[in-house]
């Protein structure tokens, strides 16, 4: 009798154009080639797993869509893009993230409806008015796996109360206590941390440890858009950031590095083992497994990042916080310069109506900056 289960976990999936790629990003590629094209190089590998999980970082909706409005077309996948998710065998997606309500409540409800009709489960939405997270339980080979998802990023883009589940530590611990009586495995998806930095903060490590102490088995992190280290803690595994899986942030090289965490759970010994499949996002926005020296380099790099997390145990919290803030400041400055260079390089790839909106936003930001400093 089969008493084990295989789970593939990946990071951020955006099936729409990024703000800086409006007209030539992932969403535009899907409109030309179809969404199955995006997952062509990984579909077979993912299909070898019983469960395939990812973080859906955009809506799949045509509601109130305006092609010539920058705010309307960015980070928005077409409803038909769900075909690619089915092709790649995704059966559970996290919806608790900072972009999922970028276009309002109705597009998110449409996305949820599309996923349901396609047989794809989702987690990270409120169950009712009390804002409790609804756990999504999948049973395979007589093993029950509960997925819980939370957004720990500030509310953005909208004014209404979010439909997604916010991260409140006390509530998450209560959810774990509730669902561990109904399942064999609890997997927590967290949208957290800062963008582009390759190390988690001390606060993130403390939170992850508390979740494992409470009864969670796996913590899957995303939002930084780059890969971070992995930590084995007690009987649990913490993937601080899985990186981008499908995204168009090509101006920042490390945003094109990703991984598939291939997890295997054996019910007899109640233990997890895992393998890492290094991934590179190519120029067509396809996640592609890498091999040879490039794979070796990536795995060595991931080992280095993971060792840094272990070494933090011997460093004071004050020093860790200072180092983190210093690294974050430096990496954000580099990312900003690279994104500006990318915009200038692709200036003539944008439609004129989009360029006008870009220039208007730049003008408003600089005006606000001058007003702010003028009032000081």
What is the C-alpha to C-alpha distance for residues 320 and 189, in angstroms, rounded to an integer?
24
Contact criterion met (CB below 8 Å) for 60 and 15: yes
Contact criterion met (CB below 8 Å) for 57 and 11: no
Q: pLDDT of the chain along its 376 residues, tens only?
A: 578 999 999 999 999 999 999 999 999 999 999 999 999 999 999 999 999 999 999 999 999 999 899 999 999 999 999 999 999 999 999 999 999 999 999 999 999 999 999 999 999 998 664 555 678 999 999 999 999 999 999 998 888 889 999 999 999 999 999 999 999 999 999 999 999 999 999 999 999 999 999 999 999 999 999 999 999 999 999 999 999 999 999 999 999 999 999 999 988 778 889 999 999 999 999 999 999 999 999 999 999 999 999 888 778 888 889 999 999 999 999 999 999 999 999 999 999 999 999 999 888 877 775 654 555 4
CA dihedral over 245, 247, 253, 254, signed as positive or negative? negative
pTM recorded for the entire structure = 0.94
- Domains of the chain (ranges plus CATH)? 4-313 (3.60.21.10)
Tokens 């890492």 found at: 276
With 0-12 / 13-18 / 19 or more C-beta atoms within 10 angstroms meaning exposed / middle / buried, residue 179 is buried
């Amino acid at each position: 009798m089969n008493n084990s289960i295989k789970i593939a976990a990946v990071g951020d999936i955006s099936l729409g154009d990024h703000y800086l790629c409006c007209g030539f990003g992932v969403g535009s590629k899907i409109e030309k080639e179809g969404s199955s094209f995006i997952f062509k190089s990984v579909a077979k590998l993912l299909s070898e797993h019983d469960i395939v999980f990812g973080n859906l970082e955009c809506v799949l909706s045509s509601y109130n869509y305006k092609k010539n409005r920058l705010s309307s077309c960015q980070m928005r996948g077409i409803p038909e893009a769900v075909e690619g998710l089915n092709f790649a065998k995704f059966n559970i997606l996290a919806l608790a993230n900072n972009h999922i309500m970028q276009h309002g409540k109705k597009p998110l409800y449409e996305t949820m409806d599309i996923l349901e009709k396609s047989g794809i489960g989702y987690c990270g939405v409120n169950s009712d008015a009390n804002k409790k997270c609804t756990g999504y339980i999948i049973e395979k080979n007589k093993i029950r796996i509960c997925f819980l998802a939370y957004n720990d990023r500030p509310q953005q883009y909208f004014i209404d109360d979010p439909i997604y589940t916010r991260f409140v530590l006390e509530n998450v611990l209560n959810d774990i206590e509730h669902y561990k009586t109904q399942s064999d495995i609890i997997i927590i998806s967290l949208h957290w941390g800062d963008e582009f930095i390759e190390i988690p903060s001390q606060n993130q490590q403390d939170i992850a440890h508390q979740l494992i102490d409470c009864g969670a088995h796996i913590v899957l992190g995303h939002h930084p858009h780059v890969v971070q280290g992995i930590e084995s803690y007690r009987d649990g595994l913490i993937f601080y950031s899985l990186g981008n899986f499908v995204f168009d942030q090509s101006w920042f090289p490390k945003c094109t590095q990703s991984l598939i965490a291939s997890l295997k759970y054996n019910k007899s010994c109640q233990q997890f083992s895992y393998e890492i499949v290094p991934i590179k996002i190519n120029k067509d926005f396809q996640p592609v497994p890498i091999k040879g020296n490039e794979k070796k380099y990536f795995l060595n790099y991931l080992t280095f990042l993971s060792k840094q997390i272990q070494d933090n145990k011997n460093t004071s919290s004050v020093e860790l916080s200072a180092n983190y803030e210093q690294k974050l400041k430096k990496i954000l400055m580099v990312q900003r310069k690279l994104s500006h260079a990318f915009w200038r390089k692709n200036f003539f790839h944008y439609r004129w109506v989009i360029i006008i909106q870009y220039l208007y936003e730049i003008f408003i930001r600089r005006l606000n900056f001058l007003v702010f400093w003028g009032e000081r």
